[in-house]
A and B are shown apart, each in its own frame.
Chain A
Amino acid sequence: MDDLARTSPEHFFSDRFNVTPSLMERLLGASLAGRVDDADIYLEYRVNEELVLEENVVKKASRHVSQGAGVRAQAEARTGYAHTDDISLSNLEEAARQARAIADRASTSGVLAVPSRGRAHDLYTLAEPPIVAALERKLELLRKIDAAARAADPRIAQVIASLASEEIVMLIATASGWTIGDVRPLTRLNVTVIAEENGKREIGSWGGGGRVPFDFFLEDERWTRFAHEAARQAALKLRAVEAPAGTMTVVLGPGWPGILLHEAIGHGLEGDFNRKGVSAFAGRLGQKVASELVTVVDDGTIPNRRGSLNVDDEGTPTGRTVLIDNGVLTGYMQDRLNARLMKMAPTGNGRRESYAHPPMPRMTNTFMLAGQDDPEDIMRSVSNGLYAVTFGGGQVDITSGKFVFSASEAYLIENGRVTAPVKGATLVGNGPDALLRVSRVGHDLKLDEGVGTCGKDGQSVPVGVGLPTIRLDGMTVGGTQV
């Protein structure tokens, strides 16, 4: 467990693989420079550990190491990408040759890449990264969670507690002579329970984490809250009524319901879809796409958050991009390729799942800024509707703009009061008009607990979302109660 970078990424890769920044630069220069518009070499070393406690005992313990290099060459809109899991000079040369082959197929545009510059942030330097924390302490925590969840409710029949820890060391060299590295810790604790009563079973789940040390879970007894929340979710569903179906007013609680922003507008504002003109938001910069109460940002610079990065996976420092400013569309999220082709600046949103994948524009932490309203007042303003506080996943069709997300904890609102819990219901809407329906914004902005993973084109990356309490008028709720 002590095999990770406690030195800089530059030293890590040169000590371990004899691949130095100057060698990477030479490779880029020799193989790629002058014949392409942009090129980079990305080195990655990753260790994952997963511990799973089930039926009161540690059932699963696993540890995985992956390493590799991805070489990319770009000319105009074309990308050649080759990767290898054997980091050696000869393999890197071969990968560079393959990546260039595509870029050589036609003359280049002569538009040079925007050079990556600026300082990397320092958002998650940890005294003790989660991957190196003592195994016995981790196992002890999982056992305590099991006991806490069972003690929370006698109907809890099954507890699955899992702790995943990861550390990535990356180093990127770009054709513009910029080499930068990052060491990225990440951890996530998850509690899933099954509650049983009179032959009825329900599932409840809660979790959290971030680029934080293992002790994060012990602070303020965070782990107890996760266990209790999971138990509460499952018990609540045992008495949930059928969800309503049809159009109604929906109040979203603070925090994780920010997944609405991720699906309704976030993906549609990624540079690639807009460059290609296939997003429902293409060509709409400067237009009103949301209520004037709405300001949405994507911010990769919040310390210790799951979606944060010191630099993105192309070496560009992350930033805070205002996507919607008081209802007006103001920005897209860009990687280097799409920024270059759209003649915009890269925003630090070029991300990749691993060395085996070329970067794409992706979100980091996407949230709506707080408004003025008291959340209690917002609730009281609704005579009949749905109050949704926790969600499962969501999905969007960026071209038609239609999106869905599934509530896992929701209640009926009757005469301004929260009443019966309802079974899982899917909310469906249209991205370009969903945020026009926002009629109240609370002052209680909250970021999520740190569990989000976003999938796009087969690549998964950790992300964050956030939301204050908001009221949406005329949303479609997909229940079974007509």
Chain B
Amino acid sequence: MSGETVRPELLTDVLGRARARGATEADGFLIEEQHFSASVRLGQVDTVKHSREQRLSLRVFAGRASAASSTSDLSRASLERVVDEATALARVTAEDPHAGLPRPADLITTVPDLELEDRGGEELTPEAKIELARQAEAAALESDPRIANSEGAECWDRRARYVYATSHGFAHGYATTSFGLSVSPVASANGQMQRDYWYSAARHRAALDDPAAIGRTAARRALRRLGGRKVKTVDVPVVFDPDTAASLVRAIAGAASGPGLYRRASFLLDRLGKRIAAPTVTIVDDGLIPRALGSRPFDGEGLATRSTVVVGEGVLESYLLDSYSARKLGLRSTHHASRDGAGVGVSTTNLILQAGPTPPEELIRSVKSGLYVTELIGFGVNGVTGDYSRGAVGLWIEDGELTYPVEEVTVAGNLLEMFGAIEGIGNDLRLRDRTVSPTLLVGRMVVAGN
């Protein structure tokens, strides 16, 4: 997409037409993106995908009533239809005193350059991407004779441009790039097969991990699962590796998000300013980190991104709000609005549970008998009550040592109790995705098996 420009006037024309059609105010998003991916399996090219997409999303207000419409067809006739449909729909929705755009004065004025677009060098050719995927998979296959099969490796990149505009005259945009490389090897021994994966993703191509290192990590993860078995049902300490710990952090952010709160459907309702986690726990959402995957200069309503302490030393310091949920709750937006075709929601940026002082090996060493979790599956998280029960894969800890692999078990508890029972935080934080955590030690959970 280099050399092409997004067309903010396309959006401002649509907003103008909405006003002409009787909308009191309106805003919209224009997204243009280009995606390429190449996958390789057992050294052979498997699938190559190429796409170019665009979408215009419009939200109109008729007084305090609103409606949304979107289209991927940016022809004049289609855009006119989008405006007509949205204004017609707005007439049937109810007046809502809390609806409306943020005040124009609150919108961002200078868009910071967060270096979210890799402008350096030549674009990777399809052949180069195939080669990267091949190298990553080869490293996994060569690392051990028990890695004899693979679900493949994939290398992808994505270039996107966003423009946000309001009928009050605001129009700003930014561009991003992202690059990713992942491998899913299959290990087998004694008639059992185990698959695992590893990946690297970054805004700048040079920041991707070495393909061979990704492949070797994926292989190691698959190999250590061989011979997995159930354990007896027991109440023990559970250590979550950084990736599974990050999923717990996401669950906290979900419960701290405005839409669930004003619907009274969150276990963090009425907890602002109260202790919800061990005092060692601090969770920050920082959308301004240069080159980070979750960064964005402004949110889905044009409000400047910032850094928000969600949980500070165990205390719930802030919810995550867009303008609407903030007004509903009698609070101010925290600039976390996200946009999709259906309207406005809330999303985090770079959500980080801050590192502790302890090497992860020491956390494991502190456990007499317990479970080290490396993968969680299923949907057993109740955002209303915090009740938690998910399938787990990992390694059994005995006398502070990782011993045999464990599978076909569940870990269960309640998220508030689990965060309250965090007894150790690793020093192994790495900003490798949008939501990250170091290793976490939770004092007690029920592991169900035999």
Contacts and interface: CB of A to CB of B under 8 A. Distances in A.
Interface of A: 3, 50, 54, 57-68, 77-86, 95, 98-99, 101-102, 105, 135-136, 139, 157-158, 160, 194, 196, 201-203, 243, 245-247, 276-278, 280, 356, 358, 392-400, 402-406, 423-426, 428-430, 476-482
A280 B70 CA distance: 42
Contact of B68 (A60, A356, A424, A477): A60
Given A158-B263, A404-B410, A478-B448, A63 B46 contact: no
Contact of B195 (A79, A135, A400): A400
Residue in A61, A95, A247, A392 with the greatest tally of chain B CB atoms within 10 Å:
A61
A68 B71 CA distance: 11
B389 A426 contact: yes
B54 interface: yes
28 contacts: A3-B81, A58-B93, A60-B343, A61-B67, A65-B82, A68-B53, A77-B41, A78-B48, A83-B49, A85-B54, A139-B92, A194-B384, A246-B450, A276-B149, A358-B49, A395-B377, A399-B186, A400-B228, A400-B407, A402-B407, A404-B377, A405-B378, A406-B380, A424-B387, A425-B412, A426-B389, A428-B409, A430-B408
B237 to A, nearest CB: 15
Contacts of A139: 92
A426 B228 CA distance: 19
Nearest to A477: B448
Given A246-B448, A276-B151, A392-B379, A78 B50 contact: no
A186 B387 CA distance: 33
Contacts of A426: 378, 380, 389-391, 410, 412
Contact of B48 (A54, A81, A243, A397): A81
Nearest to A62: B68
A395 B379 contact: yes
Given A201-B264, A482-B446, A476 B234 contact: no
B24 interface: no
A64 B340 CA distance: 11
Contacts of A280: 193
B45 interface: yes
A62 B342 contact: yes
A203 B265 contact: yes
Given A79-B46, A399-B195, A482 B235 contact: yes
B71 A66 contact: yes
A477 B264 CA distance: 29
Given A58-B94, A60-B342, A201-B384, A476 B450 contact: yes
Given A77-B46, A80-B47, 15 more contacts: A57-B93, A60-B93, A64-B71, A64-B341, A84-B51, A85-B53, A102-B48, A201-B265, A243-B389, A246-B233, A277-B149, A393-B379, A400-B228, A430-B408, A480-B414
A245 B389 CA distance: 10
B195 A278 contact: yes
Contact of A105 (B45, B90, B379, B408): B45
A239 B448 CA distance: 23
A176 to B, nearest CB: 21
Interface string B382-404: 11110101110100000000000
A1 B46 CA distance: 41
A79 to B, nearest CB: 4
A428 B408 contact: yes
A139 B92 CA distance: 8
Nearest to B230: A476
Contact of B67 (A62, A246, A398, A425): A62
Interface in B45-67: 45-55, 67
B212 interface: no
Interface string B79-106: 0011001100110111110000000000
A415 B415 CA distance: 33
B269 interface: yes
B190 interface: no
A275 to B, nearest CB: 10
Contact of B193 (A3, A246, A399, A425): A399
B16 interface: no
B358 interface: no
Nearest to B328: A55
Contact of B446 (A50, A58, A82, A479): A479
Interface string B363-389: 000000000000001111011110101
Residue in B150, B378, B379 with the greatest tally of chain A CB atoms within 10 Å:
B378
Contacts of A86: 73
Given A201-B384, A202-B385, A65 B377 contact: no
Contacts of B411: 478
Given A85-B53, A397-B377, A61 B68 contact: yes
A394 B72 CA distance: 32
